[in-house]
Amino acid sequence: MSKFSEYLPIYEGDRFCLMCGQACPVRRVTKNEATSPHGWALLVASVQRGMLQWNAETVDVLYHCADCGNCQGNCATDRPLPYAIQAARDEVVRLGHAPASVKAVEEKLRAWGNPFRQQTPDDRAQTGISGVCNRTQQSSVLFVGDAAYFLKPEIISAAEKLLNAIGVNATRFAAGHSSGYLAYTLGLWETARRFANDIAQNLKTSGATRVITLSTQDAHALQHVYAELGVSLPDGVNVSTLVDVLVNAGDKLKINSRAPQAYTYHDPSQAIRLKHHALNARVLATQAMGAEPREMLFRENLATPIGTSGGLQFTQPALAENLARTRIAEARAIGAEIILTDDPLDTATLEKYADGMQVMNLYEVLTEQLEQ
């Protein structure tokens, strides 16, 4: 049975439930009930009932969901609507209705393993993806992914300095390679499964038991999305973000605080799905920035995504930009001079739309503030 069939009761059951509508950031900016949690459930259920067909217009509506997780995170019964919407995209692709923008991303992913550059990493043979990892086997690997490698390489160096400071030796892994999240959320499940299987196989070869991710999106992919795709990581492999590893290092991480400035913390893409991430990131931010963050209204379980999840930056660029600019406006509205985040893609995206707001990456700030 496909995941789509498994989720049929979710589309049916959620189509007239309005309880999580207030949590949906896409509905908030589009002000359109068609692009809301119950709107997407009603759309898929209506196609199943023969009242609508998949065509360019209905498929375009389906591809407006940001897959941010806020509806599930604010559901009293934890209904997995975001997973159901991504499974419906897989169904749409399998029926031959993939939008042109999705096909374009698929070509890039198949050719280059990432959507950002028409290039494979220089050290691909040693990243544990295209070939057997030929470095000494280690218990920890740093899952670099594609966004940090191509858009914010300075964050990789910062992460390595932090790991070194707490005595963790971690080999770079999947540097320049997508985790498969983007293919998954665009409904390209065949490609996503291939990426997930490559990563699982190369983790097995590496012998690593701990995967430390730079990206919250990649942590979500390995912790939750691979199970949706039917791919298992090797037994005993633990996945956590670098934020969690640093907090759990306790006194080993010695940080001098910066002179306090008005700043806020942006919960990055998929952080809502990672237990303790919101709290742990704020602990580190407070240590490095010398004060607690000023908080935006839409944070933690209600965080506004910035177009980096759900594939929106590729399928709905205007909506993605609107969400990112909304986030910057929310930071400005509470008097923040700085917006701080940890995920590399969210850092790069906030920088793109900053409009005078200073954007800082948590790992880079922590590295600058390390006690010498």
* Residue number, 82 or 145, with CB nearest to ligand SF4: 82
Say if residues 46 and 52 touch (Cβ distance below 8 Å).
Answer: yes
**Which span sits near ligand SF4 by CB under 6 A: 18-26, 245-253, 282-290, 362-370?**
18-26
* Residue number, 240 or 315, with CB nearest to ligand SF4: 315
Q: Of 11, 14, 15, 23, which one interacts with ligand SF4 (CB under 6 A)?
A: 23
* Residue number, 39 or 121, with CB nearest to ligand SF4: 39
* Residue number, 82 or 113, with CB nearest to ligand SF4: 82
Say if residues 122 and 193 touch (Cβ distance below 8 Å).
Answer: no
Q: Which residues pair with 361 in a beta bridge?
A: 341
How far is the CA of 180 from the CAs of 5, 39, 152, 173, 235, in angstroms?
22, 27, 19, 14, 20
* Residue number, 65 or 339, with CB nearest to ligand SF4: 65
Minimum distance from residue 277 beta carbon to ligand SF4 (Å): 17
| CA–CA separation, 73 and 90 (whole Å) | 23
Q: Is 14 in the site for ligand SF4 (CB under 6 A)?
A: no
Q: Is 344 in the site for ligand SF4 (CB under 6 A)?
A: no
Residues 75-104 contacting ligand SF4, CB under 6 A: 81-82
103's enclosing H/E stretch is helix 100-112
| CA–CA separation, 225 and 90 (whole Å) | 13
Tally Cβ neighbours within 10 Å of residue 43.
22
Sheet of strand 358-361: strand arrangement: 263-265, 338-341, 358-361
| Sign of the alpha-carbon torsion through 350, 351, 354, 356 | positive
Amino acid identity of residue 354, one-letter, is: A
* Residue number, 23 or 133, with CB nearest to ligand SF4: 23
* Residue number, 244 or 330, with CB nearest to ligand SF4: 330
Q: Is 24 in the site for ligand SF4 (CB under 6 A)?
A: yes
Q: Is 312 in the site for ligand SF4 (CB under 6 A)?
A: no
* Residue number, 23 or 245, with CB nearest to ligand SF4: 23
| CA–CA separation, 65 and 79 (whole Å) | 16
For residue 51, the 8-state DSSP code is S
Each residue 47-76 as x (binds ligand SF4 by CB under 6 A) or -, in order, gives ------------------xxxxxxx-----
Q: Of 10, 11, 15, 37, which one interacts with ligand SF4 (CB under 6 A)?
A: 37
Residue 368: partners with Cβ closer than 8 Å, 6 or more residues away: 258
Minimum distance from residue 264 beta carbon to ligand SF4 (Å): 21
How far is the CA of 145 from the CAs of 34, 101, 120, 151, 193, in angstroms?
34, 22, 12, 11, 16
Minimum distance from residue 142 beta carbon to ligand SF4 (Å): 28
Q: Is 320 in the site for ligand SF4 (CB under 6 A)?
A: no
Each residue 101-140 as x (binds ligand SF4 by CB under 6 A) or -, in order, gives ----------------------------------------
Minimum distance from residue 281 beta carbon to ligand SF4 (Å): 20
| Residues making contact with ligand SF4 (CB under 6 A) | 23-24, 26, 37, 40, 65-71, 81-82
